[in-house]
Chain A
């Protein structure tokens, strides 16, 4: 399943946080004159900011000569690229065949219900983003979800809720101390 992409509109970015574009300098100088550099540049940008800010397209275009239309075309073609900021923890729910057959839908629904968001959205406290993705390659442990680099298998709605609630609790504790 393809990630439900939420495309940002100009000026709509949450909290209008300023973006420090100087982080991009190293990346741009590394890829500037390489063949086929467009995707690595966008991947690198996303690595830095967690998404691709509008301003980054402009800066990359100016400094590398790539066309903004080409970049935007690529960024909206591939499921990996995000044009909106995301939460601190990205929950990737596998909606591959094996997970579907073992009813991952019920697991996803219970998490969405708890987090009070829709697929592809971010919670208002900016802690979680939930995305449906295609197979993460652990089908024999279906249903599966990934949070960050961590993979959780053999889930059911209760188990998944417990994991997410646990992360949330840790975050609140951290904030307090």
Chain B
């Protein structure tokens, strides 16, 4: 009989929810009561909506407890460990009985996330026991040539997970065919799309699989040095990568003459990004590693010919690399049996926004968006009405409810005007204003534009100005047409993907929600009740206590009323700043 294991999820999301305190509490009870279980650490298993998570693995099976505060931890140890009676009410997922969130895992296929949440990311031995570094061993043992490796990756059908969807095997072949004495591998861990966090989760939960993927790539394209370009906002990911690199070097997976193969050298360095979205673009990323401003440059030459320090370079995304060892070890045919004709394998999505089960899911390509949101994601919060889902971040678009049968693969998503992007799915309900969302993204791209291309630099600014006007009730006839016209000009005349895709959020929202734009422009109304300047306020009679807080807060003295008496808002003076609404302690202000 193996020892009972108590495993605490210590990813960024778990830590933010207080998992460190839970771990300490468990450690304390274990020592104080001299209990015989093994206390272990892991990273995020994807159920971020139930953090902090604690898994108990005993001889009967696995029980994942959700929302484990230190107090609950006490209770769980008392009942489950000491009395062998699991508390079913707190269990969110289990292979022993039908726990309340078991549906979250049904339909998921974990390849890129195969180890996340199932092992201690700071322990290389655990990775090894889960088939870690066996793919590279297989390559060496079976004497696979670089070309064999590339062919296998090509046969798997995997396309880049960083947004572009370019076939990974093909990219490797270009880099392989470039003759040079020095080549580089780069892992793009800049994860700039606000609303996506799968790369962070993989780096924190399974750094070795990314390292092994890079190592295999290095073998295939004959490179011996590599960089991971990681956002500085991900300190935990950087820390775990450093640990992983050190361990892999000590074990001889990195360094010189790997596996005794003469001349197979590979070194990996970490570069911290400095906070610029455009540096996710590959040529800008290279400029940034070289220590310059991260400005994209013209392609060709592609990085595969002239990349980092003018040497041939292959850049892939974190999730792409994490898939590679699995593909090589299990074989291309194991991978390409998942997915659709042109999009093979699985894709990780980050579910966020007004969804019940916010977290990470990995599904085979071809599942419908509806199933992802309702079956796995548990539907919309507070039983509100599903309105749209934003896919692809600032480069993507909004897919409305009536298209929710769209399947997730590169081409089907593109057909809606959105893009798959890195896989951020921000779910929006009826209380989210799509015009405001369009403005939000334009605000982002306008600030992040590097400034090189005129249309991207100035065009996005003009678009933002129009959108801001619309959301503030200053919209005019012709604004929608002006936005469309600018959008096409920006798309046509920008050098890099940032500008070429920046208008997408605006174009898709105009396409699917034109009436909402018109309500803002013509009726000066925001149907979702989001755009402050377009709202009216009134006091709810039976909630108002006459505390005078709103009247004091009102900057234009639009609120009248004596102490302890009903207050009144004069809409002819009101500037719709919303201060009364935020200040009221009794929820006595109604917005309409």
Residues of A within 8 A of B (CB): 1-3, 35-40, 42-43, 70, 73-74, 77-81, 94-98, 100-102, 106, 109-110, 133-142, 144, 149, 151-153, 157
B440: Cβ under 8 A from any A Cβ:
yes
On chain A, the residues within 8 Å of B432 by CB distance are: 101
Say whether A98 contacts B194, CB under 8 Å: yes
B 275-302 to A, binary, CB cutoff 8 A, 1 in contact else 0: 1110000000000111111100000000
Cβ-based interface call for B17 (8 A)? yes
B residues in contact (CB < 8 Å) with A:
12-13, 15-17, 48-49, 51, 191-197, 200, 232-235, 272-277, 288-294, 309, 350-354, 358-359, 390, 393, 424, 426, 428, 432, 437, 440-441, 443-444, 447-448, 450, 582
* Inter-chain contacts of B352 with A (CB < 8 A): 97-98, 101, 139-140, 142
Cross-chain contact of B428 among A39, A80, A101, A151 (Cβ < 8 A)? A101
Which of A74, A80, A95, A149 has a CB less than 8 Å from the CB of B235? A149
Contact yes or no, B13 A138, CB < 8 A: yes
How far, in angstroms, from A98 to B354 measured CA to CA in the complex? 8
A134/B291 in contact, CB under 8 A? no
- Inter-subunit contact B276/A97 (CB<8 Å): no
Residues in chain B near residue A134, CB distance under 8 A: 192, 194, 233, 277, 444
> Which residues of A sit under 8 angstroms from B309, Cβ to Cβ?
35
Distance in angstroms from A120 CB to nearest chain B CB is 13
Q: Contact between A135 and B447 (Cβ–Cβ < 8 Å)?
A: no
Taking CB as reference atom, which chain A residue is nearest B294? A77
Q: Are B440 and A97 in contact (CB under 8 A)?
A: yes
A70 to B66, CA, bound (A): 51
Chain A residue nearest to B200 (CB atoms) is A137
Residue of B nearest to A110 (CB): B582
> Are A97 and B390 neighbours in the complex by a CB distance under 8 Å?
yes
Q: Which of A3, A96, A97, A138 has the most CB of B within 10 A?
A: A97
List 10 A-B pairs, minimum CB-CB distance, nearest first.
Answer: A96-B194, A140-B358, A140-B48, A79-B275, A97-B195, A135-B194, A78-B274, A38-B291, A98-B352, A151-B16
- Considering residues A137, A144, A152, which has the most beta carbons from chain B within 10 angstroms of its beta carbon? A137
- Closest chain A residue to B198 by CB distance? A137
Contacts of B393 in A (CB 8 A): 97
Looking across the interface, which residue of chain A has its beta carbon closest to that of B350? A139
Specify which of A109, A110, A141 is in contact with B17 (CB 8 Å cutoff).
A141
C-alpha gap A171/B32 in the complex (Å)? 33
A157 to B391 CA separation, bound complex (whole angstroms) = 28
Q: How far is the CA of A100 from the CA of B15 in the complex (A)?
A: 22
Least Cβ–Cβ distance between B272 and chain A, in angstroms = 7
Chain A residues within an 8 Å CB radius of B292? 38, 70, 74
| A99 nearest CB neighbor, chain B only | B194
Q: Using A80-B275, A153-B13 as known contacts, list a sample of 4 further A-B pairs with CB atoms less than 8 Å apart, ordered by residue number in A.
A: A1-B443, A135-B233, A136-B233, A140-B359
Say which residue of A1, A79, A101, A157 sits within 8 Å of B426 (CB atoms).
Answer: A101
Q: Which residues from chain A contact B437 at a C-beta distance below 8 Å?
A: 97, 100-101
Min distance, Cβ A78 to any Cβ of chain B, angstroms: 4
Q: List 20 A-B contacts (CB under 8 A).
A: A36-B291, A79-B275, A97-B195, A97-B390, A97-B424, A97-B440, A98-B194, A101-B428, A133-B233, A135-B195, A135-B196, A135-B197, A136-B233, A138-B197, A139-B197, A139-B352, A142-B352, A149-B235, A151-B16, A152-B16
* Chain B residues in 8 Å Cβ range of A135: 193-197, 233
Least distance between A148 CB and chain B CB atoms (Å) = 11
CB B512 to nearest CB in A, in angstroms, measures 17
Q: What is the minimal beta-carbon distance from A81 to any residue of chain B, in angstroms?
A: 7
Separation of A102 and B432 alpha carbons in the complex (Å): 9
A80 to chain B, nearest CB (A): 4
